[in-house]
């Protein structure tokens, strides 16, 4: 089912005449483009609407020509209209409201007077073939950027310095970085979200990013050790086995109409089996990825459906260790998207499930050829 067919079904089931998307991830999902100028606002500078037949872009006169020329790769120019308003005369929400008839019911993913507020997350799942193609490229380039920085790390580098290098490496590939976490040996064991500071890396480092391009998000974590603590290898393997279990459970639950809560139960059991019972309480475990860092985050009671083809980014942690990649799950296979095939790996087994999978190992630069 292509995106227009999904939208038509959505309009019918919600008894709506039109839907409007102004949030950046939803705008990117439908158009393939970027409507962001200011990252601090919830809405972008343009909105895309669909009424069952026509696609309309509404934006102000400052942005209209640029968006028409550069930000609509997934839309046929002949089938979309660009409607502009004067930047000083109206706001985007007012412009949207002005294009909805008095006898029409419409929804929007931002607050618009007179329109129903909608959550477009279900529309973005599962991934279309075009989205999967883009995801593969984004995943490879994200991993390449992260791993290139990781291979150059030194124990005396500060977390801030590493974060800056990551953002530059990603930006050079036209990739934005909503999340960049760098934790050295002092802070990574203390905090699950190791936002970078001026602290030096020390014995080892955890490097985690969530990257974004064309609305799609890819997450990955790499571990680099200069003088690894004696416990690091065991905890790293434990986290990797929990991640493998989550992936195996995701694939299994997708075939039987299972939920995020069902996968979470497997994660809890895996933590028990690897000797770290209750670790799941210290950090969220991830979930479905796509046009958000996580389209949903699994919880014990979550009823979000597990669907394929869809990307999943599970991110189990074990007290100073973490395992995380973005993986495309289809009916037939698991494909790690955030990989370069040029990083040391270790084979791990899922707990209680038939899956062996290669996961990134701890990189020790002094032992690398």
What pTM does this model have? 0.96
Verify that 68 and 81 share a domain, yes or no.
yes
Verify that 220 and 76 share a domain, yes or no.
no
Q: Which residues contact 246 (CB under 8 A, 6 or more apart)?
A: 263, 266, 267, 270, 285, 286, 312, 314, 316
Verify that 98 and 222 share a domain, yes or no.
no
Cα separations (Å) of 143 from 122, 139, 140, 207, 348? 27, 6, 5, 11, 20
Distance CA 26, CA 43 (A): 10
DSSP-assigned letter for residue 200: B
Cα 206 to its chain centre, rounded Å, is 19
**Domain CATH number, residue 15:** 3.40.350.10
- Backbone Cα Rg of the chain: 22
Verify that 360 and 247 share a domain, yes or no.
yes
Verify that 72 and 161 share a domain, yes or no.
no
Q: Which of 336, 284, 283, 330 is nearest to 306 (CA)?
A: 330
Verify that 203 and 292 share a domain, yes or no.
yes
Verify that 229 and 109 share a domain, yes or no.
no
- Domain, as residue range, for 265: 129-367
Number of domains composing the chain? 2
Verify that 119 and 137 share a domain, yes or no.
no
Distance CA 84, CA 65 (A): 9
Verify that 139 and 95 share a domain, yes or no.
no
Where would I find the beta strands (DSSP E) of 131-170? none
Condensed to tens digits (0 to 9), the pLDDT of residues 283-318 reads 999 999 999 999 999 999 999 999 999 999 999 999
Verify that 85 and 148 share a domain, yes or no.
no
* 91-108 mean pLDDT: 96
Per-residue pLDDT band for 121 (boundaries 50, 70, 90) equals very high
**Domain CATH number, residue 360:** 3.90.230.10
The residues that bridge with 46 in the sheet, in sequence order, are 59
Distance CA 20, CA 93 (A): 10
Residue after which a domain boundary falls, among 74, 91, 124: 124
What would the two tokens of residue 294 be?
A: 């996580």
Condensed to tens digits (0 to 9), the pLDDT of residues 11-34 reads 999 999 999 999 999 999 999 999
Residue after which a domain boundary falls, among 82, 104, 124: 124
Per-residue pLDDT band for 41 (boundaries 50, 70, 90) equals very high
The residues that bridge with 223 in the sheet, in sequence order, are 206
Verify that 148 and 251 share a domain, yes or no.
yes
Distance CA 189, CA 282 (A): 12
Verify that 83 and 157 share a domain, yes or no.
no
């Amino acid at each position: 089912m292509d995106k227009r067919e999904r939208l038509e079904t959505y309009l019918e089931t919600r008894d709506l005449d039109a839907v409007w998307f102004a949030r950046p991830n939803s705008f990117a999902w439908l158009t393939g483009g970027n409507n962001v100028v200011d990252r601090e606002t919830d809405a972008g500078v343009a909105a895309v609407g669909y009424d069952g037949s026509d696609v309309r872009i509404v934006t102000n006169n400052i942005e209209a020509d640029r968006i028409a020329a550069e930000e609509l790769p997934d839309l046929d120019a002949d089938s979309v209209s660009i409607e502009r308003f004067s930047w000083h005369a109206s706001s985007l929400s007012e412009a949207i409201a002005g294009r909805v008839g008095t006898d029409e019911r419409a929804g929007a993913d931002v607050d618009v007077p007179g329109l129903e507020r909608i959550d477009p997350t279900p529309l973005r799942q599962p991934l279309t073939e075009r989205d999967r193609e883009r995801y593969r490229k984004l995943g490879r380039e994200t991993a390449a950027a992260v791993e290139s920085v990781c291979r150059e790390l030194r124990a005396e580098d500060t977390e801030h310095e590493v974060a800056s290098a990551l953002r530059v490496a990603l930006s050079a590939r036209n990739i934005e970085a909503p999340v960049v976490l760098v934790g050295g040996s002092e802070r990574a064991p203390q905090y699950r979200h190791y936002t970078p500071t001026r602290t030096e890396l020390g014995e080892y480092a955890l490097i985690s990013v969530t990257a974004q391009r064309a609305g799609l998000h890819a997450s990955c974590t790499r571990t680099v050790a200069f003088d690894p603590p004696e416990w690091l290898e065991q905890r790293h393997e434990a986290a990797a086995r929990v991640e493998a279990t989550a992936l195996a459970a995701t694939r299994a639950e997708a075939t039987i109409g299972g939920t995020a809560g069902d996968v979470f139960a497997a994660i809890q059991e895996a933590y028990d089996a690897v000797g770290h019972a209750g670790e799941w309480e210290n950090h969220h475990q991830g979930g479905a990825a796509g046009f958000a860092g996580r389209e949903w985050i699994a919880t014990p009671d979550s009823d979000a459906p597990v669907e394929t083809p869809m990307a999943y980014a599970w991110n189990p942690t074990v007290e100073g260790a973490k395992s995380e990649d973005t993986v495309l799950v289809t009916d037939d296979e698991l494909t790690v998207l955030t990989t370069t095939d040029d990083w040391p790996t270790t084979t791990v087994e899922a707990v209680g499930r038939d899956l062996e999978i290669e996961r990134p190992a701890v990189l020790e630069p002094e032992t690398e050829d």
